[in-house]
Amino acid sequence: MSVTREQIVTWLEKTAVVLDANKQYLTDLDAAIGDADHGINMTRGFTKVMEKLPTVTDKDIGNILKTVGMTLISSVGGASGPLYGTFYMRAGTAVAAKEELSNEDLAAMLQAGVDGIVQRGRAELEDKTMIDAWFPAMVALKTAVDNGDTITGALQKTVAAAEQGMKATIPLKARKGRASYLGDRSIGHQDPGATSTHLILNALLETVQEGN
Amino acid sequence: MSVTREQIVTWLEKTAVVLDANKQYLTDLDAAIGDADHGINMTRGFTKVMEKLPTVTDKDIGNILKTVGMTLISSVGGASGPLYGTFYMRAGTAVAAKEELSNEDLAAMLQAGVDGIVQRGRAELEDKTMIDAWFPAMVALKTAVDNGDTITGALQKTVAAAEQGMKATIPLKARKGRASYLGDRSIGHQDPGATSTHLILNALLETVQEGN
Amino acid sequence: MKKLINAVDNVVREQLQGMAVAHPDLVKVQIDPHYVVRADAPVKGKVALVSGGGSGHEPMHGGFVGMGMLDGACPGEVFTSPTPDQMYECAKAVDGGAGVLFIVKNYTGDVLNFETAAELAHADGIKVQSILIDDDVAVKDSLYTAGRRGVGTTVLAEKIVGAAAEAGYNLTQCADLCRKVNSYGRSMGMALTSCTVPAAGKPTFSLGDNEVEIGIGIHGEPGQRRMEMKTADEITEMMALEIITDKAYTRTVREWDNDQGVWVDVELVDEPLKAGDQVIAFVNSMGGTPVSELYAIYRKLAEVCQSHGITIARNLIGPYITSLEMQGCSITLLKADEEILRFWDAPVKTPGLRWGV
Amino acid sequence: MKKLINAVDNVVREQLQGMAVAHPDLVKVQIDPHYVVRADAPVKGKVALVSGGGSGHEPMHGGFVGMGMLDGACPGEVFTSPTPDQMYECAKAVDGGAGVLFIVKNYTGDVLNFETAAELAHADGIKVQSILIDDDVAVKDSLYTAGRRGVGTTVLAEKIVGAAAEAGYNLTQCADLCRKVNSYGRSMGMALTSCTVPAAGKPTFSLGDNEVEIGIGIHGEPGQRRMEMKTADEITEMMALEIITDKAYTRTVREWDNDQGVWVDVELVDEPLKAGDQVIAFVNSMGGTPVSELYAIYRKLAEVCQSHGITIARNLIGPYITSLEMQGCSITLLKADEEILRFWDAPVKTPGLRWGV
Ligand SMILES: Nc1ncnc2c1ncn2[C@@H]1O[C@H](COP(=O)(O)OP(=O)(O)O)[C@@H](O)[C@H]1O
Ligand SMILES: Nc1ncnc2c1ncn2[C@@H]1O[C@H](COP(=O)(O)OP(=O)(O)O)[C@@H](O)[C@H]1O
Ligand SMILES: [Mg+2]
Ligand SMILES: [Mg+2]
Ligand SMILES: [Mg+2]
Ligand SMILES: [Mg+2]
């Protein structure tokens, strides 16, 4: 089993669609504990990605992902721009020159991307950021791949872990990003970045499920 | 029958009370077609009048009324300050040195005051201003006095004429003061200045009725 | 009502006290009766400019007191004309022997109270002239109204005539220049929201989510008409066109004849703007509209002017003549000749407007 | 949502275009990527100051570009940090050979994007230093938060360091002065109303008729706490006391080491204000609060400072670092030594701040 270049492209397209569909939702989450722009930021970024994508769909996966990262960095701004941008840049570097990805490649790609986010943003688990979704998702994928799960099975566990991590941000008190200024008032709200992370991973699962 | 100095003082006290009680009402009328301050202006003025009044209650009526006029001019501002101020100044001049007023004195006093308002403000009948209450009231008083009515009877007709004039401002289109800027939009609203004029004259009637 | 105020009765006084502690180098503030004069008043031999009106339009007028602009300002209660004794005391405090020019916005209250003040000052031997600002094109005729309101041109007149007085113009020259500036200036305003007079405690009018008031004055009063919300470009174009295509405006005003000591009726005519004219363009916030939105307005205004052959020689963009916290804006176009531009560019040093020094 | 805008996607661009037509003598505006540089950029041999951040804080930063203040400003989308390529292009456009100082407000987005920009500029051979402004005392600890936000002190730092650069300070001297100004400055803000981000179309939060937010930042985010509306005096005293009694503040920040081309962690400590200190007092409107209310605030602030032995040497009162049309205010006290006062008084000529020239 493997993930093809075409599937990576489909994943990115699905991501653009799902973020757009959830633009208001993500922005509302950000209004509660941030500055009411996360959905707007992500849609602006992935609209640009969709403009750029046709120019690189014949390139290798590493190249495609790096283009996505650079596009996000230069069009999103805010905290999520450099963080998601770094994710795709590092993910792309990890799978440089590949035309399709084995399950192990996919796990390595996710790990490299998440490491990049942590290095840039210096968030730790339970700081109530996107890391609370990315990190358990990455661990779940690695474990499932190590256990020899199918790609679909592995990604189901990945998305489930991301969803759980996302929901687990609700009771947390934020320690990074704008939400941290609210102190206790951040408790009881779901982190917008963790929510977009879950949507992105779920788009990957759906892509792979359709391919089977 | 005559109006005593004490009754003039009572009239002014009653005026202060009734304007204060109608502060919100007058301001609301002004909000509709002006700048939402007529009640505030009138109360500010008559609060000052009440402060000054004790220092002149032993003076003659002309003196008392001129003090009221000067106090209004120097404390109200707006359009109503100089207009009502002029009314009391001229009224006071018309009854200079008197300690009590015959019915004829009262009619002459009102006429002098109203003439003063017209000279300053240059409003004509049906311009939708306080003149629409003052003018018919003045005519009614003069006619009643000429007919030999009692003071109470004459003032009842005066107040009735003022009230009718006040209500007659409702369908008018304003041609003077702030309301004139509204053009047709001023139609359907009662003029605040005509309303305070009616209240002031009614306070005089009540004073005289109590005295009997 | 939520405002950063204490007791509503103290609003004006406390703002003046704040101004006094903030700018002792620029102004002196007198409380009861309230007026603001420049720190070095009276300036001997210089014509003194005095303006005034209701409070709630800040920085106008108190914020325009200082070198190169006003010598004195008389703030009334919020949106209520000041009283003659304020104006008279202020005139006495600033007269440096060369006379006092009253700059009066055309509202019944302001006009009547300044009339009495001029009479009082004259009786006291102070040379007085009084010029009316009536530039609001939203008021169409003067026969069936109190005449055009004084709005945006007031700020420009105070700056320009202030510089002329500083440069040594005598009282008649200052009055003539002020009359010219008024006749060259035209304004139009609009509101997105009402404002709340502190003493009233609630908004003066209410507007639907999709409504705006067009042709408002500066006192939170409703405008000439209410219409559906439109884009900034459409609103700007509409207002700019009302100004640019406004016809000649004729009316009779009372002016003070200082020699005779009487009021005389004079007929004034403002000529329309025309292609080839240079202007000072003034985009003003009503108080609650941020400067960023004014720049979007200015962008379109420049386009409309250009397409009508009108050159913007100078501009002023910001909250200068406001209606408390009202959201909205006004546009003023002032035809500018060499004399006007020269005095516009001259140094000014006031709390609210400063350059060249 | 009612605003004087056209399509929400064009808001920032059209405001910049308006600024370009309004002030060609002061600034040049670049569209896509967006940045504003002074009309005479690059100024040879002078350290160039670049700041930036989300739009919606106007006049900051674009309005502070010009002689004696910023060389360049990078506006992001409304309340969204700009991107590294804007900053990098802007740095290239203003570098006059003496290097570029980035003045960065401490928000995760601004910090991360400016970090990338510094790396890009350095790789290009441009000397870069980057100083963080983190002056908001409403954020209590830095261990469990993203650290204090950069608010009012930013405006003062841009003015003061801008004058120093104009006077010939080299890059390190400018960076040191900027770090000092930041460590001497403390701010606190509050909101009466929310603002509405154009792209969101509705207010970010809603407040009851009798509620205010205390300890807000400048992005329409809710504050540190919500409380019942109080008088201007009570609110002023409360904010002033939080600033004056604020303890020493210690945190670790990343600074760019231009020689090594690496980020290094440095520990910074801000010492508290104390009796005998001189300050620059800055009373700022969040955009929708009129200047008249700021004067009432200033009046009380002066009283509170005096009773704590703190002398206000200079002041700035008006809307300078705003949150769109939000009603509310912030107070900044900046301890001022002779160096700071000298550069504060130096001439400045920008669309948003001008004196001495
Ligand atoms: N230091 C950080 N590390 C990881 N994620 C972060 C960090 N700071 C913020 N985030 C994420 O960014 C999200 C906010 O993104 P966005 O609203 O687009 O940017 P901004 O906060 O600049 O407005 C938060 O919900 C959080 O998940
Ligand atoms: N020229 C005038 N002549 C007579 N009355 C006038 C004139 N102009 C205005 N008024 C009266 O003044 C009233 C408004 O007074 P007020 O609200 O106190 O002053 P302002 O209009 O200055 O706010 C109007 O309702 C009208 O009756
Ligand atoms: Mg956000
Ligand atoms: Mg009124
Ligand atoms: Mg009034
Ligand atoms: Mg943001």
pLDDT in tens, D177-194: 999 999 999 999 999 999
Confidence of residue B212 (pLDDT cuts 50, 70, 90): low
Chains C, A in contact, 3 or more Cβ pairs below 8 Å: no
For the stretch D98-143, pLDDT in tens is: 999 999 999 999 999 999 999 999 999 999 999 999 999 999 888 8
d(CA C248, CA C242): 12
Same domain for C146 and C216, yes or no, is: no
D57 is catalytic: yes
Residues of D in contact with C351 (CB under 8 A): 317
Same domain for C82 and C150, yes or no, is: yes
Q: Which of C256, C271, C286 is the last residue of a domain?
A: C271
Same domain for C261 and C290, yes or no, is: no
* Domain that includes residue B14, residue range: 3-210
Same domain for C203 and C180, yes or no, is: no
Which DSSP letter does residue B22 get?
T
- For tokens 């009230």, what's the residue? B163
Residues with CB under 6 A from ligand 2: B 30, 34-35, 37-38, 41, 78-80, 83, 117, 121-123, 129-131, 176-178, 191-194; C 80-81, 108-109
Contact A82 D205 (CB under 8 A): no
Atom of ligand 2 nearest to the CA of B129: 27
Residues of D in contact with A177 (CB under 8 A): 108, 146
Please report, for the domain that includes residue B143, its CATH number: 1.25.40.340
Contact D15 C292 (CB under 8 A): yes
Q: Find, in chain A, the residue whose alpha carbon is nearest to that of D76.
A: A77
Task: Give the model's pLDDT for residue D142.
Answer: 81
For the stretch D61-70, pLDDT in tens is: 999 999 999 9
Residues near ion ligand 5 (CB < 5 Å) are B 35, 37, 78; C 79-80
Contact D221 A78 (CB under 8 A): no
For the stretch B102-117, pLDDT in tens is: 999 999 999 999 999 9
Residue B93 has pLDDT above 90, yes or no: yes
Residues of D in contact with C294 (CB under 8 A): 4, 18
* Overall size of chain B counted in residues: 212
Q: Structurally, how many domains does chain B consist of?
A: 1
Task: Give the model's pLDDT for residue D204.
Answer: 87
Same domain for D208 and D125, yes or no, is: no
Count CA atoms closer than 13 A to B165's CA, side-chain side.
Answer: 31
Nearest CA to ligand 1 atom 3: A121
- Residue A130 in contact with ligand 1 by CB distance below 6 A: yes
Confidence of residue B1 (pLDDT cuts 50, 70, 90): low
Confidence of residue B92 (pLDDT cuts 50, 70, 90): very high
Assigned domain for D354 exists: no
Contact D197 A83 (CB under 8 A): no
Residue B211 has pLDDT above 80, yes or no: no
Q: How far is the CA of A177 from the centre of ligand 1 (A)?
A: 5
Task: Give the phi and the psi of residue D61 in degrees, each rounded to 5.
Answer: -95, -25
Q: Three-class SS of residue D104?
A: strand
Counting as low any pLDDT under 70, the low residues of chain A are: 1, 212
Using a CB–CB cutoff of 8 Å, tell me whether A178 touches chain D.
Answer: yes
Same domain for C60 and C120, yes or no, is: yes
C204 vs chain D: nearest CA distance in angstroms? 17
Same domain for D176 and D317, yes or no, is: no
Give the residue ranges of DSSP H helices in C52-194.
Answer: 84-94, 108-123, 153-166, 171-184
Residues of A in contact with D137 (CB under 8 A): none
Task: Give the model's pLDDT for residue C223.
Answer: 85
Task: Give the model's pLDDT for residue A186.
Answer: 93
Q: What angle do CA B197, B198, B199 make, to 5 degrees?
A: 90
Same domain for D86 and D221, yes or no, is: no
Q: Three-class SS of residue C188?
A: strand
Task: Give the model's pLDDT for residue D188.
Answer: 98
Assigned domain for D217 exists: yes
Ordered per-residue pLDDT tens for chain C, 357 residues: 999 999 999 999 999 999 999 999 999 999 999 999 999 999 999 999 999 999 999 999 999 999 999 999 999 999 999 999 999 999 999 999 999 999 999 999 999 999 999 999 999 999 999 999 999 999 988 888 899 999 999 999 999 999 999 999 999 999 999 999 999 999 999 999 999 999 889 998 889 999 999 999 999 877 889 999 999 999 999 999 999 999 999 999 999 999 999 999 999 999 999 999 999 999 999 999 999 999 999 999 999 999 999 999 999 999 999 999 999 999 999 999 999 999 999 999 999 999 999
Task: Give the phi and the psi of residue B62 in degrees, each rounded to 5.
Answer: -55, -45
- For tokens 């003493």, what's the residue? C199
Which ligand is the nearest neighbour of the Cα of D76?
6
Task: Give the model's pLDDT for residue D308.
Answer: 98
Assigned domain for C1 exists: no
Residue C259, C-beta contacts closer than 8 angstroms, at least 6 positions apart: none
Query: CA-CA distances (angstroms) from residue C145 to A180, B27, C242, C245, C262?
Result: 58, 21, 19, 21, 24
Same domain for C234 and C261, yes or no, is: no
Please report, for the domain that includes residue C65, its CATH number: 3.40.50.10440
Task: Give the model's pLDDT for residue D140.
Answer: 85
Out of A33, A36, A81, the one facing D113 most closely (by C-beta) is A81
Write down the pTM of the prediction. Answer: 0.94
D122 is catalytic: no
Same domain for D70 and D141, yes or no, is: yes
> If we measure between CA atoms, which residue out of A18, C234, C284, C208 comes closest to residue D7?
C234
Assigned domain for D341 exists: no
Same domain for C54 and C202, yes or no, is: no
Which DSSP letter does residue C180 get?
H
Sign of CA dihedral C74, C76, C80, C85: negative
D147 vs chain A: nearest CA distance in angstroms? 8
Using a CB–CB cutoff of 8 Å, tell me whether B41 touches chain C.
Answer: yes
Out of C1, C290, C302, the one facing D21 most closely (by C-beta) is C302
Task: Give the model's pLDDT for residue C227.
Answer: 96
Contacts 24+ apart (CB under 8 A), D258-266: D258/D99, D258/D122, D258/D127, D258/D128, D258/D129, D258/D171, D261/D122, D263/D115
What kind and span of H or E run contains D211? strand D211-214
Catalytic residue among D57, D61, D122, D308: D57
Q: Which chains touch B (3+ CB pairs under 8 A)?
A: C
d(CA B169, CA B162): 11
Instruction: Return the structure tokens found at C328.
Output: 């909205």
Out of D7, D22, D302, the one facing C298 most closely (by C-beta) is D22
The widest CA-to-CA distance across chain C, in whole angstroms, is: 55
ω into D219 cis (within 30 of 0): no
Which C residues, 49 through 78, put their C-beta within 8 Å of a C-beta on chain B? 54, 76-78
- Mean pLDDT of successive 10-residue stretches along chain D, which has 357 residues: 95 98 98 97 98 97 98 96 96 98 97 95 95 96 89 98 98 98 98 93 90 94 90 98 97 94 95 98 98 98 98 98 98 98 98 96
* Domain that includes residue C303, residue range: 187-244+274-335
Instruction: State CA B142 to chain mean position distance.
Output: 16
Out of A74, A78, A181, the one facing D109 most closely (by C-beta) is A78
Contact A41 D80 (CB under 8 A): yes
Residues of A in contact with D220 (CB under 8 A): 35-36
Same domain for C262 and C129, yes or no, is: yes
Q: Structurally, how many domains does chain D consist of?
A: 2
